[in-house]
């Protein structure tokens, strides 16, 4: 399974089982109806919304924390908080953007409290990773440290991600890992697109420096 990417990118990958139907697109009429029902206390409707976004929300938090247990707790709390706050959801943005923002704020707040105390608890790699040509190339003779395996590379990558500041890590997570557009990220982070681009550039430069041993 490949997690947490927008439908536009997912559809291009055969391994993905999360392709969304048109009715499931963020901000659709069907989704607004579900939101209205959930606002009236219909938990079945909210269950549909949770199932729709749980993987993306979990993945965002997981990539920010590099810890499965923390990501599980925070994702649950984000959905609970979103349900409690549904009355304040004006519909100015899509439910998808709104719940993302709640999850991101919750995660950043959590990370501020956890600073320097966090330990990584990484999810396992899907076995398909071994067959990904891009990743195979990274651990082949092109890589200076050829002995490094995918699992070690995963640890190094997550350690490097944790060295970034939260805003920079968030931009890399949302764009380079989850494949959101600059515009979507700007809405979620409530900043302009230029800020997203500059943060992304700076974050990539930082990561490149941290991971120089693993890049040619």
Kindly identify the residues of this chain, within the stretch 184-203, that bind other proteins according to CB under 8 A: 189-191, 199, 202
What is the token pair recorded at 132? 């990904």
Nearest residue (CB) to other proteins, 21 versus 88: 88
| Binding range to other proteins, per CB under 8 A, among 23-31, 42-50, 89-97 | 42-50
For residue 54, state whether it binds other proteins (rule: CB under 8 A).
yes
| Residue closest to 160 by CA, chosen among 203, 191, 194 | 203
| Binding range to other proteins, per CB under 8 A, among 27-35, 74-82, 89-97 | 74-82
- For residue 92, the minimal CB distance to other proteins (Å) is 11
How far is 128 from 195, CA to CA, in rounded Å?
Answer: 35
Site for other proteins in 11-30 (CB under 8 A): none
Candidates 37, 97, 197, 214: give the one binding other proteins (CB under 8 A): 214
- For residue 29, the minimal CB distance to other proteins (Å) is 22
DSSP codes joined into one string, 177-193: IT---HHHHHHHHTS-H
Size of site (CB under 8 A) for other proteins: 71
How far is 40 from 72, CA to CA, in rounded Å?
Answer: 26
Site for other proteins in 121-140 (CB under 8 A): 122-126, 128-129, 132, 134-135, 137-138
The phi and psi torsions of 119 (rounded to 5 degrees) equal: -120, 145
For residue 89, state whether it binds other proteins (rule: CB under 8 A).
no
How far is 198 from 191, CA to CA, in rounded Å?
Answer: 12
Candidates 100, 106, 185, 196: give the one binding other proteins (CB under 8 A): 106
* Whether 151 contacts 124, CB under 8 Å: no
Candidates 162, 176, 181, 197: give the one binding other proteins (CB under 8 A): 176
| Binding range to other proteins, per CB under 8 A, among 22-30, 89-97, 168-176 | 168-176
Residue keyed to tokens 């995963």: 154
What is the token pair recorded at 99? 């719940």
- For residue 165, the minimal CB distance to other proteins (Å) is 6
- For residue 51, the minimal CB distance to other proteins (Å) is 5
Candidates 46, 95, 96, 100: give the one binding other proteins (CB under 8 A): 46
> How many Cα neighbours within 13 Å face the side chain of 103?
31
Q: Quick check: helix, strand or coil at residue 165?
A: coil
Report how far apart, in Å, the C-alpha atoms of 55 and of each of 1, 20, 79 are: 11, 12, 12
């Amino acid at each position: 399974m490949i997690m947490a990417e927008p439908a536009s990118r997912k559809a291009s990958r055969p391994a993905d089982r999360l392709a969304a139907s048109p009715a499931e697109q963020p901000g659709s009429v069907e989704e607004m109806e579900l939101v209205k029902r959930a606002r009236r206390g219909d938990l079945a409707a909210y269950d549909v919304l949770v199932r729709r976004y749980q993987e993306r929300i979990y993945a965002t938090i997981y990539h920010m924390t590099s810890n499965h247990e923390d990501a599980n707790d925070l994702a649950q709390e984000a959905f609970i908080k979103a349900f409690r706050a549904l009355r304040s959801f004006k519909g100015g943005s899509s439910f998808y953007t709104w719940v993302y923002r709640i999850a991101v704020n919750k995660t950043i707040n959590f990370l501020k409290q956890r600073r320097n105390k966090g330990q990584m608890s990484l999810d396992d790699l899907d076995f398909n990773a071994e067959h990904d040509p891009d990743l195979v190339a990274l651990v082949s003779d092109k890589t200076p440290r050829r002995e490094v395996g995918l699992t070690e590379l995963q640890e190094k990558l997550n350690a490097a991600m944790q060295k970034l500041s939260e805003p920079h890590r968030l931009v890399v997570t949302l764009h380079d890992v989850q494949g959101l557009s600059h515009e979507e990220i700007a809405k979620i982070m409530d900043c302009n697109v230029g800020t997203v681009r500059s943060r992304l550039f700076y974050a990539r430069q930082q990561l490149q420096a941290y991971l120089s041993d693993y890049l040619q």
